[in-house]
Amino acid sequence: MADPVLETFDLTRRFGDLIAVDRLTLQVGSAELFGLLGPNGAGKTTTIKMLTTLLPPSSGRAVVAGHDVAREPTATRRAIGYVPQLISVDAQVTGYENLWVFARLYRIPREERDARIRDSLKFMGLSNVADELVRNYSGGMIRRLEIAQAMMHRPRVLFMDEPTVGLDPIARDAVWEQIELVRKTYGTSVVLTTHYMEEADRLCDRVGILHRGRLRALDSPAALKASLGTPGATLEDAFLHYAGEEVELSGSYRETGRTRRAAVRLE
Ligand SMILES: Nc1ncnc2c1ncn2[C@@H]1O[C@H](COP(=O)(O)OP(=O)(O)O)[C@@H](O)[C@H]1O
Ligand SMILES: [Mg+2]
């Protein structure tokens, strides 16, 4: 890859004896939409946490937007946006007020803040609920507000951990549309985790399949499907092939979905 925006070199994280992420080496390009796939416990969240400076690597390294995440955490943070798996907005205040807090945090000059916030809300299709309390938002609206929040400072890389888990299909489509729009409008590289194989197939330029901390496959969805040599193979087939047949898709993800739905109900 000519000019990667993100590179990892043998990135590793241990928790005691467990190797949660095992010598991960990959690159993500400018404006690329990259999907990290893997069953529960594969190491997706741990990877995202290392790339967003929230968790120090045990060994290896990662460079994001030209910054070594371990040595230059502050510069890294300025260059990235992060939408965590659990709700990251305040339900007790309005959408506008949530973005105001982040506009201050990101030091957007006071005289520009209102316009930037209004723009962001409009961009995410949330203008009409800007002054509503977030506790009255649907799960899909909350996700879009979180994306707006993470994009306030126009980062070069946007990280999202399970952005569509627990959303109904219509809300999921709306979130994906916004992700596409962010990428097209700002040229942002997007790194996300998902377990919706059809979405990943339709929307990701490339996907990496993680299993027990190891990267088992890394390519475009089309190439991964073709690599099976079975006509009509789906990305789910490829996922099961590379992540191991013992993975039971619906079962292993039910837990995550429940967590998210429970979180959406929280106030
Ligand atoms: N803080 C922690 N302490 C101990 N083990 C952890 C911690 N965080 C994650 N793990 C373990 O690391 C592995 C990978 O977890 P995680 O990155 O959350 O997986 P995923 O996001 O793919 O479901 C799991 O076995 C998990 O139990
Ligand atoms: Mg996770």
Q: Along the 267 residues of the chain, how does pLDDT read in single tens digits?
A: 888 999 999 999 999 999 999 999 999 999 999 999 998 899 999 999 999 999 999 999 999 999 999 999 999 999 999 999 888 999 999 999 999 999 998 889 999 999 999 999 999 999 999 999 999 999 999 999 999 999 999 999 999 999 998 888 899 999 999 999 999 999 999 999 988 898 899 999 999 999 999 999 999 999 999 999 999 999 999 999 998 755 555 444 444 444 454 444 433
The whole domain housing 180 covers 6-87+157-265
Q: Whose CA is closest to 55, among 45, 64, 65?
A: 45
For ligand 1, atom 27: residue with the closest CA: 41
Greatest C-alpha distance within the chain: 58
Beta bridge partners of 208: 36, 218
Residue 59, token pair as written in the block: 């060994």
**Predicted local distance difference test score (pLDDT) of residue 266:** 39
For the chain, how many structural domains are there in total?
A: 1
Closest ligand relative to 49 C-alpha: 1
pTM of the model as a whole: 0.90
One-letter identity of residue 145: L
**Distance from chain centroid for Cα 165:** 11
Task: Go through 106-117 and write b for each residue having 16 or more CB atoms within 10 A of its CB, e for each that does not.
Answer: bebeeeebeebb
135, part of any domain: no
What separation in angstroms does the CA of 241 have from each of 16, 192, 245?
Answer: 29, 21, 6
**Predicted local distance difference test score (pLDDT) of residue 16:** 97
CATH code, domain carrying 192: 3.40.50.300
d(CA 245, CA 30): 33
CA of 232 to the centre of ligand 1 (A): 34
232, part of any domain: yes
| C-alpha radius of gyration, the chain, whole number | 18
- Asked if residue 81 lies in contact with residue 158, where contact means CB atoms within 8 angstroms, the answer is yes
**Predicted local distance difference test score (pLDDT) of residue 255:** 45
Q: How many CB atoms neighbour CB 267 within 10 A?
A: 9
- Asked if residue 35 lies in contact with residue 218, where contact means CB atoms within 8 angstroms, the answer is no
126 CB less than 6 Å from ligand 1? no
146, part of any domain: no
44 CB less than 6 Å from ligand 1? yes
197 CB less than 6 Å from ligand 1? no
- Asked if residue 148 lies in contact with residue 123, where contact means CB atoms within 8 angstroms, the answer is yes
Residue 240, token pair as written in the block: 């099961």
Closest ligand relative to 253 C-alpha: 1
Atom number, ligand 1, closest to the C-alpha of residue 21: 14
Q: Which among 12, 18, 40 is the best mutation to test ligand 1's pocket, defined by most ligand atoms within 8 Å of the CB?
A: 18
**Predicted local distance difference test score (pLDDT) of residue 248:** 53
Q: Are strands 80-83 and 157-161 parallel, antiparallel or unpaired?
A: parallel
106, part of any domain: no
Q: What is the DSSP string of 6-72?
A: EEEEEEEEEETTEEEEEEEEEEE-TT-EEEEE--TTSSHHHHHHHHTTSS--SEEEEEETTEETTT-
147, part of any domain: no
Q: Whose CA is closest to 159, among 88, 102, 243?
A: 88
